[in-house]
């Protein structure tokens, strides 16, 4: 086994903890699935691993998928499909192609890379015929496009996200997380077909982000945005009072970190715009 790959896998859990806040309880289990897949221990005729990530919006389900995909494969190896766009019977054709000359959206994604991650967001919204495709993908590790070409998915990870049980979880503020987890997973079992759930390697319930965790998320987002804008030549220094303002304005009990990200990026990018305009005005004759 390649020593650099082993060393990279040994640091995977640390990398995820550095970039994802408030979900330390799921990180070891995700890392376990990924390490088994990367070491070639998964069944050769199935995907390297599959995950069902369940929880409220804005808690890091998509973020952690993007994080581990980029860490393992580099950029552009995560292919995301919003299942709210695949709710009718024609959705299968949209994914696999509607004629002998079309490969569909899934075929186009697979043509871009021979390995990576397939992310199906809000899977419970997909049409039942699309769910049948998931059964085939998870069980046989392959899919046949409308062109007749069969694609091998054994070098891919398959990740599903869902908001199933989130409404119940949000109402259980005074319950232990173990109780919330059992409630959510029971709802998952009631909503999804058992033969589909049984084929998924691991099911993980993400926790709602507290104010303290969203504060950490804000600091992380600010740090990333300062670095990104710095690479573009825009040097920014965020004062403590500005950080406090961003935390107050970005905090959302229901929507998690998503409004926080939008608040930080809007403020910092607007600051850059004002600075650029001011410099231009000063340099104008």
Over residues 174-189, the pLDDT tens digits come to: 889 999 999 999 999 9
Confidence of residue 282 (pLDDT cuts 50, 70, 90): confident
pLDDT at 217 over 70: yes
Per-residue b or e along 173-212, where b marks 16 or more CB atoms closer than 10 Å to that residue's CB: eeeeeeebbebbbebbeeebeeebeebbbebbbbbbbeee
CA-to-CA distance for 224 and 226, rounded, in angstroms?
Answer: 6
- Domains of the chain (ranges plus CATH)? 3-205 (3.40.50.300), 211-283 (1.10.8.60)
pLDDT at 2 over 80: no
- What average pLDDT does this structure show over 23-34? 97
Q: What confidence score (pLDDT) does residue 279 get? A: 82
CA-to-CA distance for 80 and 70, rounded, in angstroms?
Answer: 13
- What average pLDDT does this structure show over 230-244? 91
pLDDT at 168 over 90: no
User: Nearest Cα to 106, choosing from 130, 84, 125, 124?
Assistant: 130
Q: What confidence score (pLDDT) does residue 153 get? A: 95
Q: What confidence score (pLDDT) does residue 144 get? A: 94
Proportion of the chain above pLDDT 70, given as a percent? 99
User: Nearest Cα to 269, choosing from 220, 236, 223?
Assistant: 236
- What average pLDDT does this structure show over 59-69? 96
Count other C-beta atoms under 10 Å from residue 13's C-beta. 17
pLDDT at 95 over 80: yes
pLDDT at 274 over 80: yes
Rounded to 5 degrees, what are φ and ψ at 144? -105, 125
Do you know the residue count of the chain?
A: 285
Q: What confidence score (pLDDT) does residue 85 get? A: 94
pLDDT at 285 over 70: no
pLDDT at 284 over 80: no
Long-range contacts of 101-104 (CB under 8 A, 24+ apart): 101/147, 102/146, 102/147, 103/145, 103/146, 103/147, 103/149, 104/145, 104/146
Q: What stretches of the chain adopt beta strand conformation (E)?
A: 49-54, 78-82, 116-121, 142-144, 150-152, 156-162, 202-205
Calculate the average pLDDT of the chain.
93
CA-to-CA distance for 108 and 118, rounded, in angstroms?
Answer: 12
Confidence of residue 1 (pLDDT cuts 50, 70, 90): low
Chain segment 107-120, per-residue pLDDT in tens: 999 999 989 999 99
- What average pLDDT does this structure show over 236-253? 91
């Amino acid at each position: 086994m390649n020593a650099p790959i082993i060393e990279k896998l040994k640091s995977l859990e640390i990398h995820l903890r550095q970039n994802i806040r408030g979900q330390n309880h799921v990180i070891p289990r995700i890392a376990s699935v990924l390490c088994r897949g990367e070491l070639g221990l998964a069944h050769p005729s199935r995907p390297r691993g599959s995950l069902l990530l369940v929880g409220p919006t804005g808690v890091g389900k998509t973020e952690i998928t993007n994080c581990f995909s980029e860490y393992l494969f580099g950029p552009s190896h995560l292919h995301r499909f919003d299942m709210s766009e695949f709710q009718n019977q024609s959705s299968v054709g949209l994914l696999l192609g509607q004629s002998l000359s079309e490969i569909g959206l899934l075929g186009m994604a697979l043509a871009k890379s021979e390995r990576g991650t397939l992310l199906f967001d809000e899977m419970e919204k997909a049409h039942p015929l699309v769910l049948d495709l998931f059964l085939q993908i998870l069980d046989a590790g392959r899919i046949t496009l409308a062109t007749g070409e069969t694609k091998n998915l054994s070098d891919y990870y398959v990740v599903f996200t869902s908001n199933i049980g989130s409404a119940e979880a949000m109402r259980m503020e005074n319950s232990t997380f173990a109780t919330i987890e059992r409630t959510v997973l029971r709802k998952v079992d009631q909503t999804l077909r058992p033969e589909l759930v049984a084929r998924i390697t691991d099911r993980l319930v993400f926790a709602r982000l507290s104010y303290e965790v969203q504060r950490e998320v804000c600091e992380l987002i600010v740090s990333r945005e300062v670095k990104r804008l710095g690479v573009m030549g825009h040097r920014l220094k965020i004062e403590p009072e500005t950080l406090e303002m961003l935390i107050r304005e970005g905090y959302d009990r229901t929507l998690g970190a998503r409004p926080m990200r939008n608040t930080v990026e809007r403020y910092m990018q607007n600051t850059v715009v004002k600075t650029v305009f001011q410099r231009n005005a000063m340099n104008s004759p």
